[in-house]
Amino acid sequence: MNIRPDQLAASLAKPLAPLWLLHGNEPLLVIEAADAIRAAARTQGYDERETLVVGQGFKWDALTLAAGNMSLFGGAKLIDLRIPTGKPGREGGDALQRYVADLPAQTLTLITLPEVDWATRKTAWFKALSESAATLELNAPERERLPEWVGHRLAAQQQSATPEALAFIAEHVEGNLLAAHQEILKLGLLHGAGSLSLEQVQDAVLNVARYDIDKLRLAVVEGDPARCARLLEGLKGEGAAAPLVLWALANETRTLASLCAARDTGQALPAVFKAERIFEPRRQQALGRALGRLSQGGLRAALMHAARIDRMIKGLASGDVWDEFLQLALRLAGRH
């Protein structure tokens, strides 16, 4: 039986199914769902838990033994079977099919897998599991749904935020829900219950070292040469990876070049921003102002400059990489 993630809480409030299967491409959601099932199992009297992790050299007899061993306290038992690779092999596939065909009494079995590909979905063992288990597929929300997901998480800790603030968080944590989870928890600690402004969210989310790269990108498009210099000096002092700094500057250059080319062909900027997935108003305004001081020729020169820095990083050309970073940033900031 397939269960949607939003149905999990209701399912856990009822007597638990004897077999649960979790899989998906987002580890955070799989972990949280597994934690919720384990907590519900404890509440419903599954006092003992045995964890089995399938790795190299794993003996599938261990699953049979775990199912046959009675609880030390004579109560119900939870078997927590984890298959990190999602590939149990032929022996494991056969063992899982036998296990599902004869589930042990007074036992709840929780099986967790990573993302399951199309080939695995067609295997006999996976079909046997998915047809017999309460099955949840836990994937990361699509990009356009990420602000809504962040909003629900904030609501769970009695907070709310403006659409602009939600979009800002989503932009900075896309592809990493664990980072999103950490940032949301941090907002709860910093501000408590209530509504959050865009400024509060920006201060909190940007107030970590790994976001200094984003500060540099913003300083470049806002045309703030002094801030560019300070940020590059700080990144150099912290030992930031030169390829990461180059990626940030080159990516900003490519974005500006695309916007500039679209503008010069008569396209409306709002439509171009949407096509480039640029939604934050502050960033839109900064990019719009940057286009007023930059030309296609200047941006082509900046891309060539970035290519030269790439050769320096790879040892194919001589020069001071960090000085070249500064020169490229100043070129983009309009102070070359």
Please, are residues 328 and 216 in contact by the beta-carbon 8 Å criterion? no
Give the CATH number for residue 170.
1.10.8.60
> Has residue 22 got a pLDDT over 90?
yes
- Please indicate, yes or no, whether residues 96 and 19 belong to a single structural domain of this protein: yes
Beta strands in 62-101 (DSSP E): 76-82
CATH, residue 290: 1.20.272.10
Q: Is the pLDDT of residue 214 over 90?
A: no
| 17 pLDDT above the threshold of 90 | yes
What is the distance between the terminal CA atoms of the chain, rounded to a whole angstrom? 63
Provide the token pair at 52. Answer: 């089995």
pLDDT tier at 209 (50, 70, 90 boundaries)? very low
Pairing of strands 159-161, 134-137: unpaired
Residue 81, SS3 per DSSP: strand
Structure tokens at 308: 């030269």
Break the chain down into helix, strand, coil percent, rounded to 5: 60, 10, 25
* pTM reported for the whole predicted model: 0.60
Count of structural domains within the chain: 3
Residue 206 has pLDDT above 60, yes or no: no
What's the chain's average pLDDT?
Answer: 88
- Are residues 63 and 111 both part of a single domain? yes
pLDDT at 11 over 90: yes
| Per-residue confidence (pLDDT) for residue 174, from 0 to 100 | 66
Token reading at 197: 């402004």
Listed residue (52, 30, 182) closest to 109, CA to CA: 52
> How confident is the model over 83-130, as pLDDT tens digits?
999 999 999 999 999 999 999 988 999 999 999 988 899 999 999 999
User: Do 36 and 96 have their domain in common?
Assistant: yes
In angstroms, the Cα distances linking 88 to 33, 59, 125 are 22, 11, 9
Q: State which of 169, 187, 205 marks the end of a domain.
A: 205
> In which domain, by residue range, is 33 found?
5-137
Residue 58's nearest CA partner among 98, 77, 85, 97 is 85
Reduced to 3 states (helix: H, G, I; strand: E, B; else coil), residue 195 is strand
Q: Is residue 236 pLDDT above 90, yes or no?
A: no
Residue 74, phi-psi category: left (phi > 0), alpha (psi -120 to 50), beta (remainder): left
